[in-house]
A and B are shown apart, each in its own frame.
Chain A
Amino acid sequence: MSKAATFLNSQVGRKIATGVTGFGLVLFIIVHLLGNLAYFAGAEAINTYSHTLHQLGPLLWIVRLGLLLFFVYHAWLGISIWLERRKARPDKYEMYASRGGASRQSWSSSSMILTGILLLLFVITHLNTFAFHDFEKAIHGGVEMHDVHARLSEVFAQPIYTIYYVVIMVLLGMHLRHGVWSAFQSLGWMSSKTNPIIYSIAFVLALIIAAGFIGLPLSIYFELV
């Protein structure tokens, strides 16, 4: 096996890779969130933003491919870590409880696999709803482009989809509540002093991201914008 493969197959290498891909995805969704905010600036802003992205051509494809790779790899790592865990304790405890204290076991850390898989499913439907959709056309400043604004307004007018989206974003928040902190630890960027600080930062970041993503559909649904 090559060096890289050995590294990535080791227990520590796998964690480092989970952390790197996790961080990559977090970076992406932060950019995504900022993009979403353009909706609040009106139809022209968000449509132009989307259009500009599409103009990037090959670069866009590289980024997309990278994202896909990260995403799939991340999901595969998460699932295989979880499968490994089941093998590592064939006989379960009759009674199991967390000691609390320093423990980071929580709803969010214990449900990483669940929130992760739901995110996976969500992303597929999400791409179907927005990326592969046959958009109406809008013209801004003489340029013809996808009317993303209209699509968003249309989708989030439906209660079912809005609820679905909001729920998933809560799950994303949970995934990140443990995930962000955990990625720091996985990459070894942690000391006893920074540990509690990063744990708190992770909470705030997860909250901001989830709230940011939830803000848009709710605003649309309740016609606040």
Chain B
Amino acid sequence: MTASNNGVLNSKVPEGNLQDKWDNHKNNLRLVNPANKRKFTVLVVGTGLAGASAAASLAELGYNVKAFTILDSPRRAHSIAAQGGINAAKNYPNDGDTVWRLFHDTIKGGDYRSREANVFRLAQVSNSIIDQCVAQGVPFAREYGGLLDNRSFGGAQVSRTFYARGQTGQQLLLGAYSAMMRQVHTGKIELFPRREMLDLVKVDGKARGLVARNLTTGEIERYAGDAVLLCTGGYGNVYYLSTMAKNCNATAVWRCYKRGAQFGNPSFTQIHPTCIPVSGKYQSKLTLMSESLRNDGRVWVPKKKGDNRPPNEIPEEDRDYYLERRYPSFGNLAPRDVSSRSAKYVCDEGRGVGKTGLAVYMDFADSIKRLGVDAIKAKYGNLFAMYEKITAENPYEVPMRIFPAVHFTMGGLWVDYNLSSTIPGLYVLGEANFADHGGNRLGASALMQGLADGYFVVPYTLSDYLAENLHSEKIGTDHEAFAKAEKETMERINKLLSVKGKKTVLDFHRELGELMWDHVGMSRNKKDLEMVIKKITGLREEFWKDVNIPGENNTLNKYLEYALRVADYMELGELMARDALDREESCGGHFREEHQTEDGEAVRDDENFCNVSSWEYRGDDKEPVKHVEDLNFEFVTPTQRSYK
């Protein structure tokens, strides 16, 4: 692996004071006049918060937008599943919040591995997001006086989280979706549901279109445009089990990577501490229990290994409230990565609970005693009901069983301050890019980022690019680059279908997931990472020799879709392991066992790794090349996180 900095990675962060950067930048960005806007076609891939908000905003401005989603409706994008809330620096509760504080918390939460200017802009536009959503009719929680309610989330010291019962993501997405459908009605957006982007089309080094599979007919379709916006979400499903929806995938970003877009910090994954544990091999995905539960639930395991007594029969003195013990000041509210890792440790010690031994208790008995059942019911009623639906256990009486699960990927395609990837004309928004969360994402900030990118950043920065390309030649779908992309895609599909091996796609995905979870998960080390890279290579070879895909290409065929995605996961999984191996430090969600203090806390290496690792594809038979973007902290000083 070679590290080089050949000037490709120009983050294009504008000069000036942190507070003024974005405004100055906007003043300097070129505009496209209204008559010219309608000459441009923008392809928006994905209709989650990032995609829907971008598609709607661009169409409102007058661009022609084509929007693609794998699902049958844009409203079903994975953003819909977010429960907790969205941050903004409104300071409505008057508890001292400011744009600076939101910025600072986010950058600190990210363990100083994100770009100052991006994060500051995010905090700056956060307030406009709330205004925009309320204007769209998003029914945020309100107080009796009729004003918006806020809560504290993810251990923040101020109440800056706006929420809509346990369905914040749904309500925000429905807001963006409705703005989008309004433009569908006016004809400015053309919708392409049940389409999966399978390749990017580049002409003269610029993104000029894509090919997508029509998931109902199997046809490969060509779409040309003046820019492509990737808003395809995160790739947590590399781990097989995660809290991501089943159709979340890495294919679009991975195909773009293979066309030359660099991949930033692929190994940065967030593992959420409070999910419902796995119950058996048939398990297809994991369900998140909102983090807000940690405000009133106490996490514990038995002190003794193999203590099989039912939880209510284990007396106080035989319980280990390990978070409270290890982190007296934050206790059960210790950050996500810290809580997750601690749970893993106690389970590794054999003190895990439940049938599989892979769970810890989250106990509400004390809170129920203190506040009464009704108060707990009012706060968490729907979460408790959901838990009971899934596990058939009543958390009012028996402590919940929880376990960490993959939840979010901070890594993603590398983008500059304008959200442009290393391929001109290819923009990356939302969870699909690597930008704003550094090594670890704070609760309630992904929704904020997705909407910031789509509503308030890309409409400006894209116009700059399009203005520059006003006179470039229009490309039609009959261009040879399309034919080539289509042909390669068809070949890949036919090759997969012709393997006719013995193992199902699920078998392979499970195997890959296990490798990733065990060795590229909460805790990583050199030896395992080296081993896992080899194993994944082997698994990938086996996949192409022995996978069994049913049916044909020319109809709806979900296992074929799935196989194409798993094929990409195997390559991405390897890159994640490589990146984890290369980053010789512990930061945020990336914990390298070699880099910890005596009592097991993460040790960052700001000397050598205060940077972004950005990987460039060089060919299937070559190792990827790492580029480095140095992170310069001009306005904040990185400190070692401590939650003791």
A adjacent to B, CB under 8 Å: no
A residues adjacent to B (C-beta < 8 A) = none
B residues adjacent to A (C-beta < 8 A) = none
